[in-house]
A = this chain, B = another copy of it.
Amino acid sequence: MGPGPSCVPPQVYAALARPTIGHLDPRFIAVMDEIKSMLRQVMQTDNQCTMPMSGTGSAGMETCFVNLIEPGDRVLILINGVFGMRMKDVAERLGARVDSLEFEWGRPVEVEAVREKIDQADYRIVAVVHAETSTGVANPAAEIGELLKDRPAIYLVDGVTSLGGMPTRLDQWGVDAFYSGTQKCLSCPPGLAPVSFSEKAVAKLHNRRSKVPNWYLDLSLIVNYWQGARRSYHHTAPINMLYGLHAGLEVILDEGLKTVFARHLAAHRQLIEGLGRLGLEPAVRPECRLPMLNAVRVPPEVDEAAVRSRLLTEHGIEIGAGLGPLAGKIWRIGLMGHTARPENVERVLHALQQAL
């Protein structure tokens, strides 16, 4: 019940242990095709270029930036937490000229400030974290997308924590490059990074002046394994992890996206209500709270690490610490995917009551 990995449903565990077959076996190609189709449904996109990368969520971030940045490109990163900071580091290492617009940690990105900033320069990429796992804040991904419509910039969105737990309407919002991870609301173990590129993003990739400076994550090569009639070997795909992702996506789509999102919201409300009874306060204002990642203020008299340690050792429940300026000040309680159930909320509330 921390910031991920989340609880994994039995169907996914069973899938992980299925016999490993070859990465070019026609039966495995069929599994890959179903994964792509299910990912598109969960991401609410028709993007052909939608597939899981063979690495964790951060490899998804690396994939989006390394395929889309060419040295000297102007990039704007909207920052209000650890993962926005990470985007800046990733983009700078790739030779981009990075501007950032920073907001207080625990508060959302302000759309008006973004509008002013993008009017001042010709950015090739504008990037934001949809669900800031480090603070529990939902950023206005749809509204930022609205600003960028009819502009040449690529709109790049981190959906690591949001995908599968709240709406991520890639096509409607005009998202051009999107990445996520499997260990949050997709309820699989960590290890894969679903990504999706719009036609605009694919065009930027194809028009590069130089090769992608990362062979392993070069999407222009990887698509030849994931798409088309004749699949050619790039690297050996992580077969069993992909079985797991296939099962995880099936679980979500069988339940139905609307029901899944409603379940996350219900668990979130149940938690906030219960925390209130314990005298604990959410650290984020109601209008931008994430349902799946709940930042809770640590009361001044409480040893936050001791509480986390007792939860883990005495109750078998992991919750997360604060990061950066929020270290020591908040706990982060995850209600992601299979974790987002009433009985888990009851358990963590009971454990917190005991530990406090």
- A residues lining the B interface (CB < 8 Å): 2, 4-5, 7-8, 13-14, 16-17, 19-23, 25, 54-59, 61-62, 66, 86, 89-90, 92-95, 181, 183, 189-191, 211-216, 234-241, 244, 312, 318
Contacts and interface: CB of A to CB of B under 8 A. Distances in A.
How many copies of this kind of chain does the complex include?
2
25 contacts: A2-B22, A4-B236, A5-B20, A16-B17, A16-B240, A20-B190, A22-B318, A23-B190, A54-B59, A58-B216, A58-B234, A62-B215, A93-B212, A93-B214, A93-B215, A95-B213, A189-B241, A190-B236, A190-B237, A190-B239, A191-B238, A191-B240, A191-B241, A238-B241, A240-B241
A163 to B, nearest CB: 15
Contacts of A57: 235-236
Contacts of A86: 215
Nearest to A318: B22
A59 B222 CA distance: 13
A156 to B, nearest CB: 15
Contacts of A181: 236
Nearest to A92: B211
Given A189-B20, A191-B191, A191-B241, A93 B211 contact: yes
A25 B183 CA distance: 15
Contacts of A237: 56, 190
A25 B241 contact: no
Contacts of A23: 5, 190
A229 B56 CA distance: 24
Contacts of A214: 62, 66, 93, 214
A17 B238 CA distance: 15
Contacts of A5: 20-23, 236, 239
Given A54-B59, A55-B59, A57-B235, 16 more contacts: A4-B236, A5-B236, A8-B20, A16-B240, A20-B190, A54-B56, A58-B235, A58-B236, A59-B235, A61-B215, A93-B211, A93-B212, A93-B215, A94-B213, A183-B236, A190-B238
Nearest to A26: B312
A216 B179 CA distance: 14
Nearest to A238: B191
B8 A189 contact: no
7 interchain residue pairs of minimum CB distance: A191-B238, A58-B235, A189-B240, A17-B17, A62-B216, A190-B236, A13-B17
Contacts of A22: 2, 5, 318
Contacts of A183: 20, 236, 239
Contacts of A212: 93
A2 B23 CA distance: 11
Nearest to A59: B216
A223 B54 CA distance: 21
Contacts of A211: 92-93
Contacts of A61: 215-216
A56 B215 contact: no
Contacts of A318: 21-22, 25
Contacts of A93: 211-215
A11 B213 CA distance: 38
A239 B318 CA distance: 15
Contacts of A66: 214
Contacts of A89: 215
Nearest to A319: B22
